[in-house]
Every structure is written in C-alpha cells, then in structure tokens.
Structure 1
Amino acid sequence: MSEQPSAGTVSPSGPLAGLTVFDLTRVLAGPTCVQMLADLGAEVIKIEKPGSGDDTRGFAPPALPGTEQSAYFAGANRNKRSVTLDIAKPEGQKLARALIAKSDILVENFKVGTLPRYGLGYNDLRADNPGLIYCSITGFGQTGPYASRPGYDSLIQAMGGIMSLTGVPDGQPMKVGVPVADLFAGLYGAIGVLAALRHREITGQGQHIDIGMLDTHVAWLANQGMNYLATGKNPPRLGNEHPNIVPYQVFATEDGHIVLSIGNDPTFARFCNAFGLEHLLADERFATNAARVANRAFVTDTLTAVLARHPSAWWLERLEELKIGCGPINTLEQVFADPHVIARGNLIEMTRSDGVPVKLVANPVRLSETPVDYRLAPPMLGEHTDEVLTNMLGLDEPARAALRRDGII
C-alpha cells in the first residue's frame, strides 16, 4: 500500500495545478468527475449544504474505520475542500458568485433548471466570467423530452439497455454490480472539461458542457450496441459468455471457477494441442471462432467437461505458461491482496486532518511527468469553510460568524 502525504501537505502539483474548480456536485457522477480533476492537480471547493452536506455522507454503514465518514463519500471526494454554503438563500448565492468569479471550472449535477433559479446558471455567470468552463451532469441532459426527469444509476442502466444484456438467459434482467452509469458519466464529464480547457487555452473562451447519463450509457454499449445496429436484433443475455467470442467465459473447475479467454483461432489450436484435444480441431463446429459462436452450446458443454477434470490452480498454472488468457475469480479481499495490484500502487493511505489514516482506491492514470497528486483526505463537513472564505474572499471572523448565525454557512 502506497503511503501518501498527510492532509496538511496541500501544495498542488499535476497538469491542472493552478486551476480552481467550484464543485456543486453530490452523490457519485459529479463527484467522480471532480475527483479526477482534483487528482490531476486542480484546487477544488466542494460546496455542501450546511448541517447535512453531500447525500452520500449519510450512506453508512460502512464507515471508514475510526471515523463516522461513510466509505461511499470517501471514495469520490479526496483532494477537495469542503465549504458549507446555502445557495438557496440570496446571501449564499452572492457568496457563490464571488467564489465562481475566481474559479476556472464549475461542475454541477442539479436537476435541469435548478441553478438558473438561483442565478447560478451558465448564462447567468458567463458575462462576468467568459472563460468559465461549466459542466452540467444530469440524468438525461439539458434538452429532449426526458430532460426534467431525475437520473439514478439503476434507472439509467434499465433505460440504457445494459440490463437487457446482463444476466443469465432464463433469469431476470440484471444491473451491473457497481454504479457504472454514474461512473461513466463522471469520466465523460472530466474528458469534456479537459477538452474545454484546451479550447480555452487557444481562444480564451469558456463553454457549457452538457453530459447526460443516458447519452454516456448509450455510448459505452460498445460492441453490443454495434451488434444490434448490424443485425436489428437485441443481443441475448448470455450470463458470463461473450457475445462474439467462444470460448471466452467462466468455467467450473474441479474445485471452483476460472475465466478462460481465448480470443482467436491460433490460441484455440494451442489450447487443444496442449490438453489432448487435437480431435476438436478436425470438427468443423470448432474450426473457427465463427463456427464456435454458431455452436456455442455444444462447444461450451464439451469444454465444461474438460475443465472440470482439474482444480483451478492446475489450469491457471498451465494456461499462463501457454500465454492463454485466464484468471481466477477474485473476491475483493483477494483483489486488494493481489501482488500486481499492490505493485501498481492501486491502494493508498491518506491521513485526515484529525490524524486518522484512511485507505482509498488510487487513481489509475499513470503520467510520467505530472503524476497524480494526493493532497487532501476526504474532508469532514465544512472543514475548510473558514479557510476558503478568508483566503479567497477576505471575510474576517465577525463576518463569518454573522453568516453562521444566519445559517448561510
């Protein structure tokens, strides 16, 4: 596990160092976008509702050991300064506009039309800050017949088609086990922001980025989306099998399960020759991948009997020697104990301002010259309100006390 700077070491580095993000996001899609920007060096001011904060602060148990902070919140909110500010009140809106005027990027995931009611829409802000990059992440985008609807990950997975593709053939449609619709929307949002920064570098002009979760979901249907467009037929649910390649799936072994991934005909021939299955190569049902796909059930049944003859470790050792794609089906305990995962630094530890160490999943982007920068552990609610309002707006203690008394911060 990689050790990282404590929460007190906050000087940013990375390719986005020197840029400020005004973060009006909560839950997962928006915070994922902003955490990516923060990891790349941007300074982030996370605006949270006084008293409650980001919804995911309440998504516990589980909480991080030694804290009351939900694991869910911690996973998408490192490298951010938490400022409590009630933007539903005029004085809160005034402070928000003052902070935005000093920011390069604004990311928000409110329902369509909410922020313009507070005077914080893109058109409200662009005149005073023409270089502002304003990224909106919503369920269905800013236009279209569904624009006013709320967006939730499972709802988008259902409407976006992935549930029709996921699960066993005779079972229920199945969502993916992590909130992929939220995560992809956040990552596409970060890509949009980076593109807009490049445009601003050239022209000085900011712009509005419109990210719809359903849009991004349709985009990552990838080969399955293309399979439908090519045939006009909805691809069937295949459980753990691949729609275009056979064998490329889970197989039961003598003592468990493994994944066998044979991506082309030469590899299949190597597999057959290594394990006494040369006779299959003379069978036209096995001769090519197209034939194996057409005879999926027969090929699967044949190989199921073969894989069941030996334990998982026996298969994995021999398949790896042959450079044939294979792998164990790990629990998360096994994932985080995996020597390769450890060697790549995929688990980090940061120290909160109260001295409590917390384990976090690392950013996977590896940059040779401007590496990801871990500066701030996931913040406690309102932890940086005084610091930000003092340093950015020059508000003294009496002014901040008055704002607290009125419930603005």
Structure 2
Amino acid sequence: MHGVGEMLHDRPLAGLTVLDFSQYLAGPSCALRLADFGARVIKVERPDGGDACRSLYLADLGFDQDSALFHAINRGKESYTADLKDSRDLDAVKRLVARADVLIHNFRPGIMDRIGLGWEDVALLNPRLIYAGVSGYGPDGPWRDRPGQDLLIQSLSGIAWLSGEGAGPPVPAGMSITDMMAGAQLCQGILALLVRRGVRGTGGKVDVSLIETAIDLQFEHLAVHLNREEGMPARSEVANGNVYLAAPYGIYATSDGYLALAMTRVDRLGEVIGLDELGRFPADRWFADRDAIKTLLRDHFLTATTTDWLAMLAPAGIWAAPVLDWPALMAEPGFAVLNAVQTVQSPDGAELRLTRCPVRFDDQILRSPRPAPRLGADRATIDREFAA
C-alpha cells in the first residue's frame, strides 16, 4: 500500500508524456528520473530485441525475461515497439510525437534527421516539444562517430588517470559515471526547458555529450590546471585521494580493514593518534611532503583496528570514515533509516529489489512498484489512445 505522497499523480511532472528512444544507460537513466518525478514515459523500441540493454546481463542476473540492469533503469516505463524504417510505424510514432512533451534520444549525430525525426521535423509537428539528445562526443569534430562508451570516455577525458597511486596505471571508476552523470545533466536541461515553456509557451532543444560531461566533472581540477603553467599534477605515491589535496587526504589500511581520512590539520591529527613525528612538518609543507607524511600514517594505522582509530578521531572532530563494502553498508543503522531499497513486482508475481529515486518532494520518498515493461507490451493500448 502506497501513501498519497507516493502516488504518481501527486508528483511534479504528473500529466507530462515523455518518449524515450534511447538505449543503454545515459538516456534511459534521464527518462527514469523523469518517470520518478511523475511523467509518463513511453519507451520506443525496435521490434527485434528492443533496447540492447534488455540483454546486457551483469553477473548473469535476469528478471522477467530481461536483464536486471534493464529493470534498474527502465522501471515504471511503458514499451512501444516500432520499426522506424517502416513508413506506417513511423507515422504512428509521429502521432505520439505530436502530443508528447519530451523526446529523448541517443542516436549518433544525424540519424534522427535521416529518419525524419530531427529537431526541425518534430518542431513542425509539435512546437511545444522539448527535444533532448545525448551523444558520445557532440555533433561535430573528428570524434563524433566514435563509440560513446563510458570506459572509453573516462580514458580519453583524463578521469581514469586521476585515480591510482604514483607511477601506477590509470584506474577507472568501477561504475559508469559519465553515462549516469550525462543522464543527470540531460534531465536538468529538460527541466529547465519545461520551465521556460511554462513562461514562453514554446519548446526547445537540449543536448549533452559524454565527453563534455566528463570534462565538466573535473571542473575543480581543471580550474587549477588551466590557470597554472604546469604539466600534469603528481598523484600521491601513498594513499592517493586527490591530486591537488595535501596530506593526510586518502585511504589507509588498518589492522582489520580500511580508513578514509578527509582534510584535516596534520599536526592536530598527530596529537590525536599519538604520532608525534607529524609535528615536524610545517603547514606550508603538507602538500609538498605529502608522501612522507602519508608513509608515516600508513605504517601507524596498521597498528590498530578501524574501530579503534574512529574512536579517537570522531570525538576530536576529525573527518574520517570506515571503508565499507555493500554488506557492511546495509548492516548500518544509517542505511536502514534511508529506506533506499524498493521492491518491484513482475506480472507473474516475481520480485526484484532495486534502489529508489534519491530525490524527495515535500518530505516524501518516491517509490515505484512497477518493473520495466515487457517488449511492446503497451503498443496496442497506446495506439488506441493516440489515435483518438
């Protein structure tokens, strides 16, 4: 039973219709958030297999005919199958476009124009439409037709280089951060244009790319790099956490686990943990001598447990945290109070546990019990509705 605040008609985007032509992660994650906010999302898929993510299995985990990953980013949507190369299907899709509020796609630059669903085409059909595109590398330039894949983007953009220690190899993030952030950026752009439409009454076009998203993700570091005459900054040889932050910032092994230390005064830290040697480093050397400082900390932290160190650090107001794996995180009271997990149910009663929308409106947690749609499950119903 769901409370009033969790009903779709009470959410901010209730009454809006979104056509989601996108596949994989970036575009669908944007459409997912719009669905969480109350929009009706119709996923337009090819009849032969649909979104390629339906068959993209992680750890061989499936649910209700498709991959669990597909359900994680397409829950709560409807599925409409159409062969966009077929004139009858294309006409049917154009009927949807004429009455929709938002269209999302992640086709390579030029594809939607060739189909007849480019911005200029759809603006004639529906001047109030918000037209949202996500690409790998933007509409122009020598990279525009390259595969827009997250690991490749992390590698090209410098993100993978930021992680790892000293002269070690680049280390990419363990999840698709540029895909998900591009989806979030696209969602922001759509919401901004919906606000403008409410004022001016006209639609608009918004585009993001994975590479521009990856560059923007590094704005803090690039702001320094672009304004100093230097090459690449050095990564710490020990406990690298941020190429521009001084010791002790980083993660350290303890006798039974790992401990993360954020920004803090090195001299104060030495007093709290009983490492007097840290007192010989003046404040103006905490960056230049960070590897020497971190080496002392690395050896010292191995002498006690994570719990022991936190018992000293927390009362002293030093920013520190244990490094948790997922089982340990989910055993924490702080995780339990978040109610971060929801259950969706397939038509035959099977259940899948997924994360929920992280945004709250009017203090209400947003949940959606509906899984991702089966391929083409809603076409007949939608055709009847939009033919009226």
Q: Does the 8 Å CA contact 1:133/1:206 hold for their aligned counterparts? A: yes
SS at match of 1:226: helix
TM-score with structure 2 setting the length? 0.92
Report the Cα distance in structure 2 between the residues aligned to 1:291 and 1:4, rounded to whole angstroms.
57
Q: In the alignment, does 2:285 pair up with 1:325?
A: no
In the alignment, what sits opposite 1:233?
A: 231
In the alignment, what sits opposite 2:350?
A: 356
Q: Percent identity?
A: 31
Q: Does the 8 Å CA contact 2:356/2:366 hold for their aligned counterparts? A: no
Q: Which amino acid aligns with 1:319?
A: L
Distance of aligned partners of 1:164 and 1:295 in 2 relative to their CA distance in 1, 3 Å threshold: same
Report the Cα distance in structure 2 between the residues aligned to 1:314 and 1:369, rounded to whole angstroms.
36
Distance of aligned partners of 1:257 and 1:61 in 2 relative to their CA distance in 1, 3 Å threshold: closer
Distance of aligned partners of 1:208 and 1:127 in 2 relative to their CA distance in 1, 3 Å threshold: same
SS at match of 1:294: coil
Distance of aligned partners of 1:370 and 1:40 in 2 relative to their CA distance in 1, 3 Å threshold: farther
Distance of aligned partners of 1:13 and 1:354 in 2 relative to their CA distance in 1, 3 Å threshold: farther
Q: Which amino acid aligns with 1:240?
A: N
In the alignment, what sits opposite 2:272?
A: 274
Report the Cα distance in structure 1 between the residues aligned to 2:72 and 2:329, rounded to whole angstroms.
17
TM-score with structure 1 setting the length? 0.87
Structure-to-structure mapping, 1:111-150, within 5 angstroms: 111-150=108-147
In the alignment, what sits opposite 2:155?
A: 158
Distance of aligned partners of 1:253 and 1:14 in 2 relative to their CA distance in 1, 3 Å threshold: same
Q: In the alignment, does 2:137 pair up with 1:175?
A: no
Q: In the alignment, does 2:260 pair up with 1:259?
A: yes
Report the Cα distance in structure 2 between the residues aligned to 1:235 and 1:385, rounded to whole angstroms.
54
Q: Which amino acid aligns with 1:342?
A: A
Distance of aligned partners of 1:10 and 1:385 in 2 relative to their CA distance in 1, 3 Å threshold: farther
Which structure 1 segments of 5+ residues have no match?
395-409
In the alignment, what sits opposite 1:242?
A: 242
In the alignment, what sits opposite 1:294?
A: 288
Structure-to-structure mapping, 1:3-402, within 5 angstroms: 11-62=8-59, 67-231=64-228, 232-238=230-236, 240-243=240-243, 244-261=245-262, 263-265=263-265, 268-278=266-276, 280-281=278-279, 283=280, 285=281, 287-288=282-283, 290-368=284-362, 372-374=366-368, 376-394=370-388
Distance of aligned partners of 1:209 and 1:237 in 2 relative to their CA distance in 1, 3 Å threshold: same
Distance of aligned partners of 1:389 and 1:11 in 2 relative to their CA distance in 1, 3 Å threshold: farther
Q: Which has the higher contact order (CA 8 A, sep 6+)?
A: 1
Q: Deviations over 1:193-251 (max 9, x none)?
A: 01111111110111111111111110111322123113232123446332213101111
Q: Which amino acid aligns with 1:379?
A: P
Q: Deviations over 1:324-350 (max 9, x none)?
A: 222222222223333212211211112
Report the Cα distance in structure 1 between the residues aligned to 2:295 and 2:147, rounded to whole angstroms.
45
Shift of 1:10: 7.5
Q: Deviations over 1:270-310 (max 9, x none)?
A: 433323335633x2x2x32x421110111011112221111
Which structure 2 segments of 5+ residues have no match?
none
Q: Which amino acid aligns with 1:391?
A: E
Report the Cα distance in structure 1 between the residues aligned to 2:250 and 2:357, rounded to whole angstroms.
28
CA RMSD for the aligned pairs? 2.2
